[in-house]
């Protein structure tokens, strides 16, 4: 198996992109990544595209062929594959691209993710996203993701004494980080009081505990590590890749306060990279709701189970903390175009490792990306490093 490097990155602005179409968003991110790597389309062997639900958001299926066509790749007959794993579609596209290069099947792979979510009204988007839960046993009975994660939050509060203010602090931190990210959907700071006093979406979670509906795209160029310096003087290496599944429905879990797919995917990635959680300098984790970031810090091994609230309260996950979490602003403030999120996380960690993150830059040599589908039915974890 070959080592794999990232040699180009691209990312659109995230937000309500009324003047951009689904296809133009992906092409914008892809062109940025190819330009960053100084690679021409004729050199691309494969394309993997993370996308959850274009068929319902914009009534467009056959997404891979669409992207290949409008990227100018159809004349070259470059194979393109759509990858779907709900909100983990991007992370899984990255894993598929990684495996294609690592196996030797392909030398140059573009992996990307895209979602255009704002072309439907809010009630429709909530119903579309609910399709990532168990339709028969959850969504059919009215369970939404705010409701599912609210149950997790309430159980975490009951089981571990987690404070409501600690959960709210996740949103405060991530909004602050996003003020320094020009691609972020929300570039304004908020207070704990604003989070707590916002409109309730599912008790105890409020509007400001929830990630937004977002349009956006992101892309990466992957090549074999031994060829990376043909494209850039500063490649970033994928040292570990893990994926795991769990029950799609929350009620079938052994413990709803633990996303075991995250635990298992992280074990695989750590073992492959030959590191421990304490070796990670910065992480982008899946904070679709504020409680989800607290779970992630625990399940990824950055603290003991039940200590995630204390970790955020003590400032250890801030930009100058022991383990900076979501310097981009995370899903909460940077935005959450579900198919693109996992790729954006890798773009952010790559940018951090290259020292190009501007005012939100942290001191790092090893970074982690963590992407979750639904309430934890799928999880991917990738370890990135400046060192080959």
> Could you give the residue numbers annotated as active site?
87, 336
On the 0-12 / 13-18 / 19+ scale of CB atoms within 10 A, 43 is: middle
Structural tokens at position 61 = 């299926």
Handedness of CA 248, 250, 251, 252 (dihedral sign): positive
Residues with Cβ within 8 Å of 24's Cβ and at least 6 positions away in sequence, in order, are none
In angstroms, the CA 251 to CA 152 distance is 11
Q: What are the backbone dihedrals phi and psi of residue 351, each rounded to the nearest 5 degrees, phi first?
A: -60, -40
* Residue 108: other Cβ atoms inside 10 A: 24
Residues with Cβ within 8 Å of 300's Cβ and at least 6 positions away in sequence, in order, are 262, 266, 277, 280, 283, 285, 368, 370, 381
Cis peptide before 204 (omega within 30 of 0): yes
DSSP 141-192: GT--HHHHHHHHHHHHHHHH---HHHHHHHHHHHHHHHTT-TT-S------H
* Residue 363: other Cβ atoms inside 10 A: 11
Span between the terminal Cα atoms of the chain, in Å: 14
Contact 163, 311 (CB under 8 A): no
Instruction: Find the helix packing angle between 260-273 and 290-299, rounded to 10°.
Output: 50
Looking at residue 7, the DSSP 8-state letter turns out to be E
On the 0-12 / 13-18 / 19+ scale of CB atoms within 10 A, 245 is: middle
In angstroms, the CA 325 to CA 312 distance is 9
Contact 211, 231 (CB under 8 A): no
């Amino acid at each position: 198996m070959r080592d794999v490097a990232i040699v180009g990155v691209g990312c659109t602005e995230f937000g309500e992109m009324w003047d951009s179409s689904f296809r133009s968003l992906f092409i914008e991110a892809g062109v940025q990544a190819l330009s960053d790597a100084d690679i021409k389309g004729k050199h691309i062997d494969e394309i993997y595209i993370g996308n959850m639900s274009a068929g319902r958001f914009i009534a467009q299926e056959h997404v891979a062929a669409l992207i290949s066509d409008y990227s100018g790749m159809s004349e070259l007959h470059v194979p393109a594959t759509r990858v779907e794993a709900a909100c983990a579609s991007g992370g899984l596209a990255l894993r598929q691209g990684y495996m294609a290069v690592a196996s030797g099947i392909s030398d140059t792979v573009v992996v990307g993710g895209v979602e255009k979510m704002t072309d439907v009204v809010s009630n429709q988007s909530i119903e579309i996203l609910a399709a990532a839960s168990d339709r028969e046993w959850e969504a059919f009975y009215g369970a939404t993701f705010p409701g599912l994660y609210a149950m997790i939050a309430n159980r975490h509060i009951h089981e571990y004494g987690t404070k409501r203010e600690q959960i709210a602090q996740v949103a405060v931190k991530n909004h602050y980080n996003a003020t320094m990210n020009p691609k972020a959907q929300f570039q304004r700071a908020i207070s704990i009081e604003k989070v707590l006093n916002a409109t309730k979406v599912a008790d105890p979670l409020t509007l400001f505990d929830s990630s937004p509906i977002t349009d956006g795209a992101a892309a990466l160029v992957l090549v074999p590590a031994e060829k990376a310096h043909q494209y850039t003087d500063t490649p970033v290496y994928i040292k570990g890749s893990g994926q795991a599944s769990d029950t799609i429905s929350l009620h079938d879990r052994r413990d709803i306060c633990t996303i075991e797919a995250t635990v298992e995917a992280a074990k695989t990635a750590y073992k492959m990279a030959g590191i421990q959680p304490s070796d990670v300098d910065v992480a982008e984790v899946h904070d679709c709701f504020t409680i989800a970031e607290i779970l992630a810090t625990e399940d990824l091994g950055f603290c003991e189970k039940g200590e995630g609230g204390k970790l955020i309260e003590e400032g250890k996950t801030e930009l100058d903390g022991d383990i900076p979490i979501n310097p981009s602003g995370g899903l909460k403030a940077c935005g959450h175009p579900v198919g693109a999120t996992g790729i954006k996380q890798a773009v952010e960690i790559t940018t951090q490792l290259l020292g190009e993150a501007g005012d939100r830059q942290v001191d790092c040599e090893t970074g982690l990306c963590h992407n979750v589908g639904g309430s934890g039915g799928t999880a991917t974890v990738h370890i990135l490093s400046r060192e080959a």
